[in-house]
């Protein structure tokens, strides 16, 4: 027990002291052979990473279990910086994080411009798609790499793709392809699609339809949710009526805001499972992910932030880690060199999912396995076995090179 | 008085029976396999290839090694944050040692003391005196320290950090890092050749094994990569590495490729792939090097490889998610 306390103290002291001084290892329990790590040497290169997160429009109601933490996403970036520091000190690299949180409805561009003016060459963005395009164009001539960690819009990887933007967040097409592969594997081929009222919901529904077609599932019925923004009190009466559409295998739901998806299970007319934005969800990450060393990342995150790691936390961690991973090879914070490394054929990012992630050169989207998870368990990861691709099975998820209309320049 | 005498004699007799009973079963080499998911250790008689005992251990047993004389088995109970020490003959827990948090893998100094333990959650290597359980040092290393190797002369300890993608070389006289070798993604195991002239480092996600020359500035001589017809490159994930004492062959466990690669340790060319169980993880030789054992995490068994003929001869079911293996005479 004594050691445990001691060890934690050392680790904490180390993190706090790093970059400025030798970590203190003054605990009485430790004999004289303390670590004189490379941290004493002044860093030769500093990587300045900025984060701009815009607080999204809140849904009409939030279930108690889904209350977003104040530091959602940012906490992941902070862990990423800590991991980068731990690795980078061996080769005299330093990393700094600056964070800007933009209130709902305000313009995030000034926050980005401020970070750029302060010398941040790498900026993680969690903003709306339309703002992301505007930001990318506004800083086009600056020495800056933008990393989209939040927006899932496929248009950002297609018509609106930009050469100065990398995408960590999986696109909707990647998410729904991951789900479709699993449902097809289970032979749950006939889907009833329920779509919400927002534009985002319509895009998610479009992605589901595209995936169904791609992998041989069928949309046998389709409805738009029109029972108002908060139907919790009347769900038991309304949902059975609204779900009488004949026979189907699976209710797939497009409700990105979270207005109604969670009140569908057990209220449907037929006893059918639910998947999509609720039920069995395709996600980049979930607290129940444990395999392939994931429990180590979960545990590091929990130690630092005293809460569970959510998808946006993971995507921000990946964003910072993707720069850190490249930096160990470039040893230079020149964004052009870092970008070249991130797109190099030997660049692989171990993201605790069994196979390495990497960037697709044609749209700069991170290819990575997608989890299929319900509230308390990660059921599987896609790509499912048997879905083959000449390059990597990961490219069975999302828009592949021949279909891409992205022109990076 | 008489009653007391009787009781003592009875106990002695009982003890005698136990010893007599126990001795023959343990006359042969035994393999110890840590089963990560059911918190047990399987003991296999290497003559009959039968599981002769299954021992309940601390939670999430992973790294497993033996003392140089083969009398003690050291086991990392990762979720209980301790090292457990078992008597290799009686199979009893002798003592527990401090480990630092979340111990995964460790290595003993060739003299049998101290023990170097990778603390996966805390970016540290903990050095412990196995005699008195004293903490000798805590060495800060990269993110998620994992593989632990030690040079045959005991002068250098090498730790791999999975997320930093480095092998850290530590001078055991000062417990300070003297070199950091950047290798491919998720380095898992560091293994010295018996003559100390090569250091092999496997990179699970990178899919390669780096062969390093410790006598020439720790430079990478070659990165060995693998190609298996019909197996996707993503599934080729090198983990466990073992070299024969004569320095002629290396065996490399390839994870979800379900194969063990046989490598010519002189030319560093891959010679063949042996099909074993699913998600092959770690490897261990019998003391005479006639057999190599692989732990196959997803098929819950071990494969026995005949080293001379380079053939898989048998698989033996063990516990859930077998992780590591060590064989003692």
Residues A56 and A160 in one domain: yes
Show which of A226, A257, A283 is a domain's final residue.
A283
Residues A157 and A29 in one domain: no
Looking up residue A248, the CATH number of its domain turns out to be: 3.40.50.2300
* Any domain includes A381: no
Which pLDDT belongs to residue A231? 87
Q: What is the dihedral of CA B318, B321, B326, B327, to 10 degrees?
A: 10
Residues A181 and A251 in one domain: yes
* Any domain includes A278: yes
Cα–Cα distance measured from residue A331 to residue A47, given in angstroms and rounded to the nearest whole number: 10
* Any domain includes A405: no
Q: Provide, as residue numbers in chain B, all residues whose Cβ is less than 8 Å from the Cβ of A83.
A: 143, 163
What is the count of structural domains for chain A?
Answer: 3
- This model of the complex carries an ipTM of 0.82
Q: Does B102 touch chain A (CB under 8 A)?
A: yes
Which pLDDT belongs to residue B8? 45
* Count of all residues that appear for chain A in the document: 409
Domains, chain B, ranges and CATH? 28-238+319-328 (2.130.10.10)
The boundaries of the domain holding residue A20 are 2-40
Residues A212 and A149 in one domain: no
* Any domain includes A404: no
Residues A206 and A247 in one domain: yes
Cα–Cα distance measured from residue A263 to residue A246, given in angstroms and rounded to the nearest whole number: 20
Residues 6+ apart with CB under 8 A from B13: none
Whole-number average pLDDT of chain B: 92
DSSP secondary structure of B67-119? -TTS-EEEEEEGGGTEEEEEETTT--EEEEEE--SSEEEEEE-TTS--EEEEE
Show which of A251, A283, A315 is a domain's final residue.
A283
* Any domain includes A395: no
Residues of A with CB under 8 A from a CB of B: 3-4, 6-8, 10-11, 14, 23, 25, 29-31, 33-38, 83, 86-87, 90-91, 293, 296, 299-300, 303, 321, 325, 328-329, 348-350, 354-356, 392-394
Cα dist from A248 to A188, A236, A379, B287, whole Å: 9, 20, 22, 61
Show which of A259, A283, A307 is a domain's final residue.
A283
DSSP letter for A365, please. B
Residues A273 and A186 in one domain: yes
Cα–Cα distance measured from residue A128 to residue A138, given in angstroms and rounded to the nearest whole number: 15
Per-residue b or e along A241-277, where b marks 16 or more CB atoms closer than 10 Å to that residue's CB: ebbebeebbbbbbbbbbbbbbbbbbebbeeebbbbbb
DSSP H helix total and E strand total for chain B: 1, 28
Which pLDDT belongs to residue A41? 53
Cα dist from A61 to A71, A258, A277, A348, whole Å: 20, 8, 16, 40
Which pLDDT belongs to residue A63? 86
Residues A263 and A297 in one domain: no
Cα–Cα distance measured from residue A225 to residue A245, given in angstroms and rounded to the nearest whole number: 14
Q: Which residue of B has its CA nearest to A295?
A: B121
Q: Does B98 touch chain A (CB under 8 A)?
A: yes
Mutate to test the interface with B, among A331, A354, A357, A388 (most CBs of B within 10 A): A354
Residues A237 and A312 in one domain: no
Segments of chain A with pLDDT less than 70: 1-42
**A83 CA: distance to closest CA in chain B (Å):** 6
**CB-CB neighbours of A130 under 10 Å:** 13
Residues A278 and A341 in one domain: no
**Tokens at A41, concatenated:** 């040497």
Q: What's the pLDDT tens digit per position in B2-29?
A: 444 444 444 444 444 444 444 444 558 9
Residues A165 and A296 in one domain: yes
Q: Provide, as residue numbers in chain A, all residues whose Cβ is less than 8 Å from the Cβ of B127.
A: 33
Give the nearest partner residue to B121 out of A36, A296, A350, using CB atoms. Answer: A296
* Any domain includes A403: no
Q: Which residue of B has its CA nearest to A321?
A: B163
Cα dist from B281 to A67, A163, B31, whole Å: 40, 41, 16
Q: Provide, as residue numbers in chain A, all residues whose Cβ is less than 8 Å from the Cβ of B126.
A: 3, 7
Cα–Cα distance measured from residue B124 to residue B159, given in angstroms and rounded to the nearest whole number: 10
Cα–Cα distance measured from residue B304 to residue B284, given in angstroms and rounded to the nearest whole number: 10
Give the nearest partner residue to A393 out of B176, B182, B234, using CB atoms. Answer: B234
Cβ-contact A317, A76 below 8 angstroms = yes
Cα–Cα distance measured from residue B89 to residue B80, given in angstroms and rounded to the nearest whole number: 24
Cα–Cα distance measured from residue B106 to residue B117, given in angstroms and rounded to the nearest whole number: 4
Q: Does B138 touch chain A (CB under 8 A)?
A: yes
Cα–Cα distance measured from residue B36 to residue A174, given in angstroms and rounded to the nearest whole number: 33
For A338, what's the count of Cα atoms within 13 Å in the CB-facing half-sphere?
Answer: 30
Cβ-contact B118, B103 below 8 angstroms = yes
Cα dist from B276 to A45, A385, B130, B248, B297, whole Å: 46, 19, 35, 22, 11
Cα–Cα distance measured from residue B285 to residue B260, given in angstroms and rounded to the nearest whole number: 13
How confident is the model over B275-293, as a mean pLDDT? 97
Cα–Cα distance measured from residue A318 to residue A324, given in angstroms and rounded to the nearest whole number: 10
Q: What's the pLDDT tens digit per position in B46-88?
A: 999 999 999 999 999 999 999 999 999 999 999 999 999 999 9
Q: Provide, as residue numbers in chain A, all residues whose Cβ is less than 8 Å from the Cβ of B123.
A: 11, 14, 86
Give the nearest partner residue to B186 out of A7, A14, A350, using CB atoms. Answer: A350
Which pLDDT belongs to residue A19? 36
Which pLDDT belongs to residue B27? 56
* Any domain includes A399: no
Taking the model in full, what pTM does it have?
0.86
Q: Which residue of A has its CA nearest to B140?
A: A35
Residues A90 and A142 in one domain: yes
Residues A294 and A331 in one domain: yes
């Amino acid at each position: 027990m004594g050691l445990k306390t001691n060890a934690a103290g050392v680790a904490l002291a180390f993190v706090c002291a790093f970059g400025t001084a030798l970590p203190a290892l003054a605990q009485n329990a430790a004999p004289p052979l303390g670590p004189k790590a490379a941290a004493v040497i002044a860093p030769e290169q500093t990587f300045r990473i900025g984060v701009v997160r815009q607080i999204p429009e809140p849904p009409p109601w939030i279930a108690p279990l889904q209350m977003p933490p104040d530091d959602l996403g940012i906490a992941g970036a902070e862990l990423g910086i800590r991991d980068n520091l731990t690795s980078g000190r061996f080769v005299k690299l330093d990393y700094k994080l600056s964070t800007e949180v933009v209130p709902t409805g305000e313009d995030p561009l000034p926050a980005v411009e401020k970070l750029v003016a302060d010398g941040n060459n790498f900026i993680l963005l969690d903003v709306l798609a339309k703002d992301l395009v505007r930001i990318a164009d506004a800083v086009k001539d600056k020495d800056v790499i933008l990393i989209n960690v939040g927006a899932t819009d496929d248009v950002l990887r297609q018509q609106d793709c930009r050469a100065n933007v990398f995408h960590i967040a999986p696109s909707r097409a990647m998410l729904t392809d991951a789900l479709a592969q699993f449902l097809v594997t289970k032979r749950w081929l006939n889907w009833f699609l329920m779509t919400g009222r927002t534009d985002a919901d319509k895009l998610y529904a479009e992605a589901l339809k595209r995936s169904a077609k791609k992998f041989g599932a069928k949309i046998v019925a389709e409805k738009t949710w029109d029972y108002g923004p908060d139907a919790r009190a009347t769900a038991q009466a309304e949902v059975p009526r609204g779900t009488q559409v004949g026979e189907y295998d699976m209710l797939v739901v497009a409700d990105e805001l979270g207005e109604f998806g969670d009140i569908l299970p057990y209220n449907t007319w037929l006893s059918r499972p639910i998947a999509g934005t609720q039920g069995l969800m395709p996600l980049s990450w979930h607290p129940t992910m444990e395999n392939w060393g994931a429990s180590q990342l979960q545990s590091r995150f929990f130690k630092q932030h005293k809460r569970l790691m959510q998808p946006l936390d993971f995507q921000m961690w990946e964003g910072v880690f993707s720069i850190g991973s490249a930096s160990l090879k470039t040893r230079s914070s020149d964004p052009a060199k870092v970008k070249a490394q991130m797109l190099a054929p030997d660049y692989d990012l171990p993201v605790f999912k069994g196979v390495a992630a990497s960037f697709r050169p044609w749209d700069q989207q991170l290819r990575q396995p997608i989890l299929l998870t319900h509230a308390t368990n990660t059921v599987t990861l896609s790509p499912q076995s048997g879905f083959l691709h000449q390059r990597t099975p990961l490219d069975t998820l999302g828009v592949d090179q021949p279909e891409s209309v992205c022109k990076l320049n | 008085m008489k009653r007391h005498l009787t009781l003592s004699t009875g106990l002695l007799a009982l003890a005698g029976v136990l010893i007599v009973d126990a001795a023959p079963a343990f006359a042969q080499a035994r393999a110890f396999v840590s089963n990560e998911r059911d918190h047990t250790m399987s003991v296999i008689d290497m003559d009959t290839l039968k599981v002769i005992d299954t021992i309940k251990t601390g939670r999430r047993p992973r790294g497993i090694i033996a003392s140089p004389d083969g009398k003690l088995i050291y086991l990392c109970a990762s979720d209980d944050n301790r090292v457990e020490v078992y008597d290799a003959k009686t199979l009893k827990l002798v003592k527990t040692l401090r480990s630092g948090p979340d111990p995964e893998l460790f290595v003993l100094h060739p003299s049998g003391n101290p023990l170097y333990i990778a603390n996966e959650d805390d970016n540290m290597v903990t050095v412990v005196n196995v005699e008195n359980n004293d903490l000798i040092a805590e060495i800060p290393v990269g993110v998620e320290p994992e593989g632990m190797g030690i040079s045959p002369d005991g002068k250098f300890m090498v730790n791999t950090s999975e997320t930093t993608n480095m092998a850290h070389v530590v001078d055991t006289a000062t417990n300070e890092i003297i070199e950091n070798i950047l290798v491919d993604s998720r380095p898992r195991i560091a293994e010295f050749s018996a003559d100390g002239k090569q250091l092999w480092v496997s990179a699970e996600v990178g899919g390669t094994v780096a062969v390093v020359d410790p006598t020439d500035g720790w430079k990478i001589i070659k990165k060995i990569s693998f190609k298996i017809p019909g197996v996707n490159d993503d599934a080729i994930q090198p983990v466990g590495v073992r070299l024969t004492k004569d320095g002629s062959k290396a065996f490399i466990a390839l994870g979800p490729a379900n194969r063990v690669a046989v490598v010519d340790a002189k030319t560093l060319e891959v010679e063949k792939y042996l099909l074993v169980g699913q998600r092959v993880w770690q490897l261990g030789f019998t003391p005479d090097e006639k057999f190599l054992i692989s732990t196959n995490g997803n098929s819950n068994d071990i494969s026995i490889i005949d080293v001379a003929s380079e053939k898989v001869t048998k698989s033996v079911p063990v516990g859930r998610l077998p992780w590591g293996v060590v064989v003692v005479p």
